[in-house]
Amino acid sequence: MIEAVLLLLCVLGCVVLTVAPLPSPEFMDPKSPRARSMRVSERRWAYTLLTISSFLFLTLYAYSRGADWRAVGYLAVMMVVSIALIHPWLLVRGLLIPLGQVELAYRLSRLGGHPWLRDPTGGAVLSGALALVRRGQHHQGLASWLEGHLDDGPLRGAGVAAAGLLAASRGDVADARVLLESVEALDPELCPQAAWKIAIDWRVADAASRGAWREVLQLGRTGLKTSRTTRLVTLAAARMTGEWAEDAALVRAWLLAPRRLGNLSLLRLALRQAAPSVSETRETGDAALDRLAVVAPLAALDAAVAANDGHTPCADVVGLQVETLAALERREPDEQAALVARLALAWDRALRSNFLLEHLSGRVLEVRASHAAEELRDQLESDVAADLACALQHHRVPLSRLSALLHERERPSPVLARAIDRVTGDLLAEIDETAQALSERQHRLAEQHKRLSLVDPDGAGNFHSIELWRAWLAVRDVYEDVARVGGEQVRRLAFPTLEKQLGRLALWVWQVHDERGFADAIFLWLLREAEALGNTASADTYRHNLAVSF
């Protein structure tokens, strides 16, 4: 009797859990991805609860009827099989991924369950991709097959992570980095935590293998719960960058992390790196001079250029240009700006000197050149401005820092002003081209979709969301790079151009393809940018769109 009541209570609980309305229907659209995820999640947990309670009930019932331990054993096996079918990840992770069984991992994961409740389609592809990267060699056929299955459902966190791992598997590291980094751009409610962890694990491994220890630290300290391996690598990175990390803590993290044998080399590397002492952190004599050479020249420039006693008027300034170009490779952006400003001021001085004009006049006569000295000087000035613009573009030196440096001086720099104008124009042209390319791509896809819909009304499945996701990421990266280099002035000019195209794209993927997660990622980014630029009208629109999607 008691067993029957217990079972009935459990069944009732499961039914209530499954059919109960969402917590707050007034604030949540029942058709939104978030609501659907919650619904799936609740159903899965109800099945799990039902399985366990059935097992308990049947066990009690069997005992009450005098059954022996074998009956309980059979029931336990049945329960484990049932749970494995409800949450196949346990089997996939423990057996199929290590064995590199791509197809089986994918097919079993398609049953859904933890941890892919928020993205069952992407989770299944991610399971397959994990099995693929465990194989000794890349298998293009399997990778294409998996990529094809990404279009079976809406694009979410696990799908993006899967696309990143597939790119890594085929050796396209740059694409893998971009995609795995973009997992963060999605609404956390649409991104399974396991996908976050996997993305961070890969990025940590990538950064550690490059020796980019500071990047490892950034990744490992995002505040999210990271894997044990990432915790070990983060601790090692802290040690490698000179932060204080105890030997005991490192060894403890190594013992707790899986694959101890493989991680032993990392532990050794970290332990070999002694904690920084005071003498090591002090700057060496030459380094200090190098540093001064960057910071001081703006003040000391006039004296240095005035002392120019070279035989040709530009010898010293060309020498300075050579030094600057070499130094730009290894300096921080602020220092790069100071170096370019110093060079521009030196060129201003040289170009305005009578010595240059006299020298050019003499040479024009000697070699019987067809141009006047003034023309040659103008050409030189134009070449110098072009070179400075090219150097600024090449090293992505922030223009705002340069402008600030110039304002500190009383005299303007015509050469640098020309270079800055040129770079600003180039940056805006870059944004225009990017927006145009995005618009054309969207138009092409829309046309294709229209054609396919005529043939097959369910042709929405042919929408390759990951390709468009890549395009959106590329556009975002171009804009952020342009904004960083061009500063607020360029950012204000560039945002409206891009905003229009991205807004259209977001509405299209949302309304035509029901890719609300994708659209939300774009709206969220646009909202942040609009807020940063103080564009309240735009910010209100994006806030509204995000709220509707919630």
Partner 1 sequence: MEPPHIARITQNPFHVLGLRPGCSRAELERAGQTLLDMLAVDMRDAREYMTPLGPRARTAELVRHAMAELREPTRRVVHELWASRDQAAAAPRQPRTSPLSDDDAERDGWHGGFRALGWRTP
Query: What is the secondary structure of 68-135 as a DSSP string?
Result: -HHHHHHHHHHHHHHHHHHSTHHHIIIIITTTT-HHHHHHHHTT--TT-TT-HHHHHHHHHHHHHHHS
At closest approach, how far in Å is the CB of 161 from partner 1? 13
* The amino acid at 135: R
Q: Which is nearer to partner 1, 126 or 438 (CB)?
A: 126
> ∠119-125-126 over CA atoms, to 5°?
80
Q: Which two tokens stand for residue 14?
A: 């499961």
Residue in 519, 522, 501 with CA at minimum distance from that of residue 436:
501
| Nearest 10 degrees: Cα torsion 351, 395, 237, 265 | -110
Q: Which two tokens stand for residue 261?
A: 């044998």
* The amino acid at 379: Q
At closest approach, how far in Å is the CB of 196 from partner 1? 16
At closest approach, how far in Å is the CB of 28 from partner 1? 38
Q: Which is nearer to partner 1, 68 or 286 (CB)?
A: 286
- List Cβ neighbours of 45 (8 Å cut-off, separation of 6 or more): 17
Q: Which is nearer to partner 1, 97 or 104 (CB)?
A: 97
At closest approach, how far in Å is the CB of 240 from partner 1? 6
At closest approach, how far in Å is the CB of 78 from partner 1? 32
At closest approach, how far in Å is the CB of 122 from partner 1? 19
Q: Which is nearer to partner 1, 199 or 505 (CB)?
A: 199
At closest approach, how far in Å is the CB of 496 from partner 1? 31
Residue in 112, 92, 103 with CA at minimum distance from that of residue 145:
103
Per-residue burial over 225-257, b = 16 or more CB atoms within 10 Å of its CB, e = otherwise: ebbebbbbbbbbbbbbeeeebeeeebeebbeeb
- List Cβ neighbours of 65 (8 Å cut-off, separation of 6 or more): none
Q: Which is nearer to partner 1, 152 or 290 (CB)?
A: 290
Query: What is the secondary structure of 447-499 as a DSSP string?
Result: HHHHHHHHH-TTGGGG--HHHHHHHHHHHHHHHHHHHHHHHHHHHHHHHHHHH
Q: Which is nearer to partner 1, 414 or 459 (CB)?
A: 414
Q: Which is nearer to partner 1, 116 or 213 (CB)?
A: 213
Q: Distance between CA 524 and CA 191 in Å, rounded?
A: 15
Termini Cα distance of the chain:
46
Q: Which is nearer to partner 1, 283 or 540 (CB)?
A: 283
At closest approach, how far in Å is the CB of 434 from partner 1? 21
Q: Cis omega before residue 333 (within 30°)? A: no
Q: Which is nearer to partner 1, 130 or 468 (CB)?
A: 130
At closest approach, how far in Å is the CB of 282 from partner 1? 10
* Inter-residue contact 237 to 216 (CB < 8 Å): yes
Q: What are phi and psi of 355, to 5 degrees?
A: -55, -45
> ∠519-523-183 over CA atoms, to 5°?
65
Q: Which is nearer to partner 1, 78 or 327 (CB)?
A: 327
Q: Distance between CA 258 and CA 93 in Å, rounded?
A: 14
Residue in 196, 204, 261, 263 with CA at minimum distance from that of residue 238:
204
* The amino acid at 425: G
At closest approach, how far in Å is the CB of 43 from partner 1? 32
At closest approach, how far in Å is the CB of 398 from partner 1? 18
Q: Which is nearer to partner 1, 240 or 468 (CB)?
A: 240
At closest approach, how far in Å is the CB of 135 from partner 1? 7
DSSP three-state, residue 269 = helix
Q: Which is nearer to partner 1, 259 or 528 (CB)?
A: 259
Task: Compute the half-sphere exposure of residue 129: CA atoms within 13 Å on the CB side of its CA.
Answer: 31
